[in-house]
Amino acid sequence: MDEAVLDLLERLVTVRRELGENVYQDAVERAVIGVGVAAHIEAERVALRHARLRPVGNVISLPARQPLRETAGQARAPGGDNDRL
């Protein structure tokens, strides 16, 4: 096992011996949460780096809006719908 893991286990055993079972359980829970937070932060960092390298992603490019067309001097909405003017 890694030295850091052994050190953590030793600290948890000391907490259990010195401060009791309830404090030990809280310390274990917080250690697990800390591992999850560290993994989450690293995953977000990798995802952001990946997004910068490949910016296309799931974005759908839509055509630009076209200006109103004029027919016989009268402005018409695209598709010929004049009710919205």
Domain boundaries in the chain?
3-53
User: pTM of the full predicted structure?
Assistant: 0.55
pLDDT at 59: 66
CA distance 79 to 72: 15
pLDDT at 64: 80
Q: Using a CB cutoff of 8 Å and minimum separation of 24, what contacts does 17-20 make?
A: none
Q: Using one digit for the tens of pLDDT, what is the confidence trace for 59-72?
A: 666 778 877 666 55
Q: Return phi, psi of residue 20, to 5°.
A: 105, 170
Q: Using one digit for the tens of pLDDT, what is the confidence trace for 8-50?
A: 999 999 999 999 999 999 999 999 999 999 999 999 888 888 7
CA distance 13 to 31: 13
pLDDT at 3: 93
pLDDT at 8: 94
Q: Find residue 70's DSSP bridge partners.
A: 75
